[in-house]
Structure 1
Amino acid sequence: MEKLGMEHLEQFLKWKKEEAERNQIDREQIKKQWLNEIESFYKQIKSFLAPLQEKQLLSLNWEEIKIQEENLGEYTTKKLHINFPDQKVVVEPVGKYIIGANGRIDMIGKNENVRFLLVDKRAKSPKITVSFDNEMTKALEKIRPLKDTEYAWKIATPPPNIQFIDLNEDSFSDALLGVIAN
């Protein structure tokens, strides 16, 4: 009697091992991309704050943090402390996998919190999308090729009528003022 059962089991286990290795590589690439997005955000914020820092109206310091996400595992990044004479504001990544966005960073102050979302750069508000199974997706791609989405950091207004505000020096300054002003 042949031992096909063992051969099939071995093939299946090899396939599962290869799939796990591919998924790990994909996860590491996504994690690296996310860490680059966080760094890009901080670079933008630092440039907005540089004139105030030069005038010694505020100071910045960084704290290393670890974040655990189900689909990415644990990773190390940093949060920013914006120090004013009488208070501190914290800017901290929340995560990559956020419903309705490709990442989220919060600015937390004594008066309120502001959410920065990584979304389609053309988006003005959240959009609901529907995912289909692979066969439906392939059929739709033949009719209408999917376009690569270009993402940008935006400020999300509070619910229920969430709007996305383009992140620039003025919008960031207004958000920061809202977080610190009495």
Structure 2
Amino acid sequence: MADFKKRDFDDFVKRQQLELSASQSVKQFNARDELQYWLGRLNALYSDIQGYLDEYIKQGQVKCEIGEIELREDFSGVYRAPTMQIEIGLKKVRVVPIGTMLIGSKGRVDIAGPAGTARLALINAKTKSPRQMVRVEIVDPTRPRQPSIAEREEPEWVWKFIGPSVSATFVDLNKDSFLEAVLDVSNG
């Protein structure tokens, strides 16, 4: 106690004010809003998929059915989410949400067929590979950390196919990549 210096306390108060200011500039988490965003993105994904398959659906060659699945996540508890089943002749492909609030993404959906599974993740449009999703940073505990410009900007979230390997590159979801994934998981 004898070594107390008012200057140390003044520095401490300044650091706390800077940290408070930085934390207030970051968007506050709202579980209900996040869940609604996720469910909206799932519905939009299924709409896109039906669009990719539209010519086959109109000809009666492909059937798409929307169902529901029950998911449980720490931030929201139990909720119901849409799922899709695609029937192409004797083959069935399921499009199943895995969850949201996953590391580095706003959610993941698996496209599962008799020959395997393809994974879609809702990730930052600027992210091209898994290596870009991890960053190591050494922070000086005596100085408040200021969020970078990239951290303050709201990313554009897009669906991309992700591979099992860290060295893989992500592939944007579009009609061609989706049809290719269905072929792969169906052993077509």
Shorter-chain TM-score: which interval?
0.7 to 0.9
Q: Does 1:168 align with 2:180?
A: no
Which amino acid in structure 2 is aligned with residue 91 of structure 1?
Answer: V
Q: Bigger relative contact order, structure 1 or 2, given CA contacts below 8 A and separation 6+?
A: 2
CA distance in 2, matches of 1:43, 1:140: 40
Q: Distance in 1 between the 2:107 and 2:170 partners?
A: 14
1:1-182 equivalence runs, <5 A: 26-126=30-130, 127-130=133-136, 139-141=145-147, 144=149, 146-182=152-188
Distance 1:69 1:86 in 2: 34
What's the CA shift for 1:130? 5.0
CA-CA distance at 1:33 after TM superposition: 0.9
Q: Distance in 2 between matches of 1:157 and 1:132?
A: 29
Secondary structure of the residue aligned to 2:153 is coil
Gaps of 5+ in 1: 1-22
- Identity in percent: 27
Please report how far the alpha carbon of residue 90 of structure 1 lies from its aligned counterpart in structure 2 after TM superposition. Answer: 0.5
Residues 130 and 76 (structure 1 numbering): CA distance in 2 closer, same or farther, change over 3 Å? farther
Distance 1:136 1:150 in 2: 33
Give the direction of change, closer, same or farther, for the CA distance of 1:138–1:56 in structure 2 (3 Å limit).
farther
Q: CA deviation at 1:139?
A: 3.7
Cα distance in 2 for partners of 1:166, 1:30 equals: 23
Structure 1 residues 144 and 61, CA gap change in structure 2 (3 angstroms): closer
Unaligned regions of 5+ residues in structure 2, if any? Answer: 1-27
Paired with 2:166 and 2:177, the residues of 1 have a C-alpha distance of: 20
* CA–CA separation in structure 2 for the residues paired with 1:131 and 1:56: 54
Indicate the structure with greater helix content.
1
- TM-score norm. by structure 1 comes to 0.77
Offset of residue 97 of structure 1: 2.1
Distance 1:137 1:68, change over 3 A: farther
TM-score w.r.t. the length of structure 2 is 0.74
What is the CA distance between 1:51 and its match in structure 2?
A: 1.1
**RMSD between aligned residues:** 2.5
> How has the CA–CA distance of structure 1 residues 132 and 27 changed in structure 2, closer, same or farther, with 3 Å as cutoff?
farther
- 1:176 counterpart letter in structure 2: V
Cα distance change of structure 1 residues 167 and 136 upon mapping to structure 2, 3 Å threshold: farther
- SS of match in other structure, 1:140: coil
